[in-house]
Amino acid sequence: MKGILGNRRAKENIAGYSFMFPTIVIIGTFVILPILYALFLSFNKVTLLGGVNYDFVGLKNFNRMIDDDKVWISLKNTAKYVLIVVPCQTMLALILAAALNAKLRGRNFFRTVYFLPTITSSAVLTLIFVWILNNNGLLNELLGMLHFPTHNWLAEPAVALFGVMLMNIYSTAPGFMVIYLASMQDISHNIYESAEIDGANAWTKFWKITVPLLKPVTFFVVVLGVIGSFQVFDQAYIVSRGDGGPNNSTLTIVLLIYKYAFKNLDMGYASALALLLAIVIMLFTLVQRKLFGDEKN
Amino acid sequence: MNHFGKKGSKGFIYAILSIYALITLVPFLWAISTSFKPLAEIVQGGFSIIPKSFTLDNYKTVFAQEPLFPRWLMNSVLIAASVTLLNLLLNSMAGYALARITFFGSKFWFFLILAVLMIPFQVTLIPSYLLLKWFSLLNTYEGLIIPGMVNATYIFMMRQFFLGFPTEMEEAAFMDGMGRWGIFFKLVMPLAKPALAAQAIFIFLGAWNDFLRPLIIMSANEMFTLPLGLSTFRGEYISFTNLIMAASMMFTIPAMLLYIFFNRYFVRGITFTGTK
């Protein structure tokens, strides 16, 4: 009997590792090894001349950030971005979810339509927006017709970032909407019914019941939104053709890392920046998991 | 539950839903309509969504003027399809092992997958580039496919999915002397279709729309995927909006069809990845 059990255990070990083998190799080579490599790169000056050369420089890469204007500009852009995009996308997602949750006829159609920007490639979406926001584009025609001031949206530093923000709100809000929707469906009907007996109208029910009960979800959505804002790249790259212009107004943190690593080939410094970004993002993720996990239990 | 009260507010809700649907649809309709207009009509301006003189010339011109366009399309199809198929197989294998097989160190590997879920890809970008350079995989299909052929998020998703599976059938198959591989391919995978469909659509769209990775890995024009091609194309044909929109639509329509077709799996997947 023991022999058979031992045999089965050995077979299960072999099966387990053969099922996991490709995953272990790929994650080992392209996630774990790169993390260690990134740590190493962050403390070196890296030069790419045919081969790759490393010069240990200690904390120099990290000290350099403090005096690097570009870093501060990209942080400022990201802060602006978080302050505008996160509240907008959260409110939009909440409003749309509440409207869809009314279970009216045709809601599947609406939901399907709302996701179009999410499934469209950032390259295409950006090209469409560039076309709508350009000097004689659709937006200016509309504004002109209504006698509002027009802008050359993506060429003026003061408004270029807004173009990028608009695209992001447009493509991320539907995902958050579905998260809200799933949680709204978990709210018990009884709460609303007893509120109705007390004479609450739709407006009060929404603000006094739905919104407070969704607080943990809102927190979750806000943190995801902040993390997403730290990672903006595609739209900023395509709008500015890779340089973060005009006048650094669309320079995001990831675009800056890209420029240092692949334009200036300064991979040590770029790795140090990426490492710090990753640590910040992971801190947000941890806080979110801690709080959201607790709420769930 | 209806937040906005009874019949009276139906109109209000429909107004909200319709206005946002319009905001979403107009840019796409505008882009599609632009792709069928001759340049002269576009330059005149105006709001007409329906082209005054409908033409297919823009689509023909894209192929004639940009000989690499079919190549970019083929690169995108090849890479997205390979990445999707490999992920479906490998993520399901790993998810199944973590859910069902008791093997030495299985807890460790599970926690490793959970840890990997938290790591933002930006930190691995530069070292991965250097590793690919070292493996001589820059500018190759393998350079994009191999690092992306497993995904921790979907390994985790498959594990959760398999945990909810009834075990009786597997036990019976075990008794009949079927091995793990037989059980996995003949019994488990066919029953996992809904989870596989959700996974497939996300992975395909992710690979199809990916911009940053191809941007770094592919430097030769003929190895570009379409998103990269489009942004290059835009630089060369900056004032030919008709051509840019035609090229964009050819890239977008396959993804849109896939999305409309697999819509219900898509929504299920979003809820999962959002709240994992």
pLDDT single digits (tens) A239-273: 888 888 888 999 999 999 999 999 999 999 999 99
How buried is A18 (Cβ within 10 angstroms: 0-12 exposed, 13-18 middle, 19+ buried)?
A: middle
Same domain (yes/no): A110, A218 = yes
- CA nearest to B3, candidates A194, A216, A209, A180: A209
Residues of B in contact with A102 (CB under 8 A): 2-4, 10, 13
Same domain, yes or no, for A220 and A121?
yes
Burial A113-127 (b: 16+ CB within 10 A, else e): bbbbbbbbbbbbbbb
A232/B contact by beta carbon, under 8 A: no
According to the per-residue pLDDT averaged within each range, which of A150-154, A231-235, B142-146 is highest? Answer: B142-146
Please give the Cα distance from A246 to B250 (Å, whole number).
Answer: 30
Phi, psi of B252, deg, nearest 5: -80, -35
Task: Answer yes or no: do B20 and A96 touch at CB < 8 A.
Answer: yes
> What pLDDT was estimated at residue B214?
95
Cβ-count burial A240-268 (b if 16+ within 10 Å, e if not):
bebebbbebbbbbbbbbbbbbbbeeebbb
Among A140, A273, A167, A180, CA closest to A228: A167
Is the N-terminal amide bond of A174 cis, ω within 30° of 0? no
Higher pLDDT, A15 or A154: A15
Structure tokens at A163: 């173009």
**Cβ within 8 Å, pair B126-A38:** yes
A238 belongs to a structural domain: yes
**Chain A residues with beta carbon closer than 8 angstroms to that of B251:** 121, 123-124
DSSP tally for chain A: helices H, then strands E = 16, 2
Residue with tokens 């580039």: B129
**Whether the predicted interface score ipTM is above 0.95:** no
CB contact under 8 A, A100 and B31: no
pLDDT in tens, B242-267: 899 999 999 998 888 888 888 878 77
Instruction: Please judge whether B94 and A23 are an interchain contact, meaning their C-beta atoms are less than 8 angstroms apart.
Output: yes
Roughly what angle, to the nearest 10 degrees, separates helices B152-163 and B106-118?
130
Kindly state the average pLDDT of the residues A66-87: 94
From the list A30, A136, A267, the residue facing B126 with the nearest CB is: A267
Same domain, yes or no: A275 and A139: yes
Encoded amino acid at A76, one letter? K
Rounded Cα distance between B180 and B75, Å, is: 36
Chain-chain contact of A121 with B211 (C-beta, under 8 angstroms):
yes
Which residue among B13, B24, B227 sits closest to A121, beta carbon to beta carbon? B227
Chain A residues whose CB is inside 8 A of the B27 CB are: 128-129, 132, 138
Q: Which of A281, A241, A283 is nearest to A258 (CA)?
A: A241
Closest residue to B1, CB basis, from A9, A189, A227: A189
A195 within a domain of the structure (yes/no): yes
Contact B124, A46 (CB under 8 A): no
Using a pLDDT cut of 70, give the percent of chain B over it: 95
Q: Is A57 part of a structural domain of the chain? A: no
Paired tokens of B37: 């207009």
Is residue A118 within 8 Å of residue A129, measured between CB atoms? no
A residues 67-86 closer than 8 Å to B (CB): none
Q: Per the domain annotation, does A125 fall within a domain?
A: yes
Cα(A132)–Cα(A114) distance, integer angstroms? 19
Using DSSP, state whether A51 is helix, strand or coil.
Answer: strand
CB atoms B259 and A274 under 8 Å: no
A284 and A217 in one domain? yes
Same domain, A102 and A216: yes
A97 CB neighbours in chain B (<8 A) are: none
A49 within domain boundaries: no
For residue A13, give its domain range. Answer: 2-42
**pLDDT cut 70: percent of chain A above it:** 96
Domains of chain B, CATH where assigned: 7-55 (no CATH), 63-275 (1.10.3720.10)
Tens digit of each residue's pLDDT (9 = 90 or more) over B47-105:
777 888 889 999 999 888 888 999 999 999 999 999 999 999 999 999 999 999 999 99
**Could you give the CA distance from residue B243 to residue A213 in angstroms, rounded to a whole number?**
50
The CATH number given to whatever domain includes residue A228 is 1.10.3720.10
Number of CB atoms found within 10 A of residue A207's CB: 12
Place of tokens 């403390």: A43
Let me know whether A23 and A170 are in one domain: no
In a domain, A47, yes or no: no
**Whether residue A222 sits in one domain with residue A180:** yes
So what's the pLDDT on residue A35?
Answer: 95
Rounded to a whole number of angstroms, the distance from the CA of B132 to the nearest CA of chain A is 9
Each as own residue / partner, the long-range contacts of residues B112-118 (CB below 8 Å, 24 or more positions apart, any chain) are B112/A27, B113/A23, B113/A27, B113/B152, B113/B155, B113/B156, B114/B152, B114/B156, B116/A27, B116/A31, B116/A32, B116/B152, B117/B152, B117/B153, B117/B156, B117/B276, B118/A282, B118/A285, B118/A286
What's the gap in Å between the CA of B205 and the closest CA on chain A? 7
Same domain, A283 and A178: yes
- The token duo for B166 is 């009834």
- Interatomic CA distance for residues A163 and A147, integer angstroms: 21
For residue B276, pLDDT beyond 90: no
Distance from CA of B102 to the nearest CA of A (A): 6
Q: Which residues of B touch A123 (CB under 8 A)?
A: 209, 211, 226-228, 230-231, 248, 251
Same domain membership, residue A287 and residue A223: yes
What are A11-36's pLDDT values in tens digits?
899 999 999 999 999 999 999 999 99
Nearest to B27 among A100, A102, A128 (CB): A128
Structure tokens at B4: 């906005």
Count of positions (residues) in chain A: 297
d(CA A241, CA A170): 21
Inter-chain touch A27–B130, beta carbons under 8 Å: no
Q: Is residue A118 part of a domain?
A: yes
Measured between CA atoms, how close is B238 to chain A, in angstroms? Answer: 10
**How many structural domains comprise chain A?**
2
Q: What is the pLDDT of residues A95-125, one digit of tens each?
A: 999 999 988 898 889 988 998 998 899 899 9
Residue-averaged pLDDT of chain A? 89
B230 contacts in A (CB within 8 Å)?
A: 123-124, 127
In a domain, A50, yes or no: no
Residues A136 and A213 in one domain: yes
pLDDT confidence of residue B6: 57
